[in-house]
A and B are shown apart, each in its own frame.
Chain A
Amino acid sequence: MNEERYILFDQYLQGELTVDERSNLEKQLTEDPELASAFESFKEMHFQLDNKFGMETEREAFEENLNRISDKYFQKKKTKVVSLKPWYFAAVASVAIMFGLFFFDYKHYPNFEDYNHPESAYFTERGVSEETLKKAEDNFNGKRYEKAVPLFEAILKENNSEEIKYFYGVSLLQVGKYVKAETIFKELEAGNSVYKEKAKWNLALSKLKQGKYKECQEILQTISQDFEDYDDVEQLLEELN
């Protein structure tokens, strides 16, 4: 092993060489590709070592946190058992009765807009004219659904992907074309793509928007607990009850 060389490299990186020694090494590096390549590798090893040991505590903290979040995410379906003390139960019941008296014969229905949060689209499809795709994406994300609908229709003629279909369906729902929208969502529901559960959710939203609360409730009950926005499903079900 070329010991002198590595000692020199280290002194250079630590800033311990005299001006002359420094410029001498720099000159050699420009002239000798083999030396330059070794120097690059030497620096790379410094970087790796710094990376490995310099942030060991931070990495451990991250891994610990990650483990916790990951376990929570993958075993989230444990049902909570809450035991109610009798006096607590009585208190809750009496409050409920009071509310019942206040709002007797008054049924509050949930509002479509409270649950209507379409996500943004980022299309990365191939084999489709990029310009149309971009326009559709912009109009969709800018909530100009009237404009997005015909663009999606054009794209679907070339590329019948589940992703485009999904966003087409959402646009139709926004502009109130329920029959067409529901046909699209039912197709997606029958498939096995990532849009399966989302399609059910949108189908339920479509029923909600039309005031068909009973149908909405029935659809909600079929949505898997793995659905990413299951919190919303639970909340809407609660409001419908």
Chain B
Amino acid sequence: MDQNKIHPDQKYIEGLAANDSVIIEMIYKKYAPKVVLFITNNSGDKDQAQDVIQEIMILLFNQAKANKLQLTCPFDAYFFLLCKRRWLNELKKSSNKGVTIYENVVSSNESAHDLVAQTEEFDEKQQLFDTMFQKLGEKCQEVLKLSFTLKSMEEVAEKLNVTYGYVRKKKSLCVGQLTQWIQEAKNFKSLKNN
């Protein structure tokens, strides 16, 4: 299959990135019923379905904003599979018992599976990053936050009332600390997989 062929449904991804209400409403209207039906048929309720859909929408927004989402399959298949897997994970977390799944939708699509795997990897990386960031000291968090919100390091220095040299060094070392932790996590993961 041609992996580079962008599906016309890419309009939904672009609409999400642009925070376009018409597109967001359309996604709910067209694609939410299938997800709600699946979750309510599988030990969930409407509120839980609402949460799952919302989490996935935010994930898609983040990935679209990072310009890392190019749809090569229908949005329908991709979105449903993401929501379904998210819900199955929720179920696994909340019960140790085996879970029986009732589903009428036998939709399956190679391209959708690949894309879902990419999105889940994006999500994992983001979550790992968030955990690491929370581990940083308060000063580091503050310097990094300002460094990536304000336009220049001079502004950061002024805001924190310290020298330019100090914030530059602090920033490098704080990113360095994150780098080191992420590398350790990666090594641990590859050890586990081997």
Q: Contact residues of A with B, CB < 8 Å? A: 1-3, 5-7, 9-11, 37-38, 41-42, 44-56, 58-59, 61-63, 65-67, 69-70, 73-74, 122, 124-126, 161-163, 191-194, 226, 228
Contact = CB atoms under 8 A, between A and B. Distances in A.
3 closest Cβ pairs, A-B complex: A6-B176, A53-B148, A10-B172
Contact of B108 (A7, A53, A126): A126
Contacts of B85: none
Contacts of A65: 19, 21, 24
Contact of A193 (B104, B129, B144, B178): B104
Contact of A52 (B16, B57, B148): B148
Given A58-B65, A69-B28, A124-B107, A10 B175 contact: yes
Contacts of B105: 163, 193-194
Given A66-B58, A194-B105, A9 B183 contact: no
Given A1-B180, A46-B175, A62-B61, A53 B145 contact: yes
Contacts of A124: 73-74, 77, 107-109, 112
Given A54-B148, A191-B104, A41 B21 contact: no
B64 to A, nearest CB: 10
B159 interface: no
13 contacts: A7-B173, A41-B179, A45-B175, A45-B182, A51-B65, A59-B58, A62-B19, A66-B24, A66-B54, A70-B28, A122-B76, A124-B112, A194-B37
Contacts of B32: 73
Give chain B's interface secondary structure class.
helix
Contact of A51 (B41, B62, B106, B108): B62
A3 B173 contact: yes
Contacts of A10: 168, 171-172, 175
Size bracket, chain B contacts = 35 or more
Given A10-B168, A53-B148, A62-B19, A194 B77 contact: no
Interface of B: 16, 19, 21, 24-25, 28-30, 32-34, 36-37, 41, 46, 50, 53-54, 57-58, 61-62, 65-66, 73-74, 76-77, 104-109, 112, 125-126, 129-130, 133, 144-145, 147-149, 168-169, 171-173, 175-180, 182-183, 186
A175 B163 CA distance: 78
Contact of B28 (A52, A73, A194): A73
Contacts of B104: 162, 191-194
Given A53-B149, A62-B61, A228-B33, A6 B173 contact: yes
Contacts of B25: 69, 73
B34 A194 contact: yes
A69 B24 contact: yes
A41 B106 contact: no
B111 to A, nearest CB: 9
A2 B176 CA distance: 8
Contacts of A161: 106
Given A65-B24, A192-B104, A41 B186 contact: yes
A43 B34 CA distance: 39
A45 B172 contact: no
Nearest to A56: B149
Nearest to A8: B172
Contacts of B74: 122, 124
**Most chain B CB neighbours (cut-off 10 Å) among A3, A38, A74:** A74
Contacts of A192: 41, 104
B3 to A, nearest CB: 16
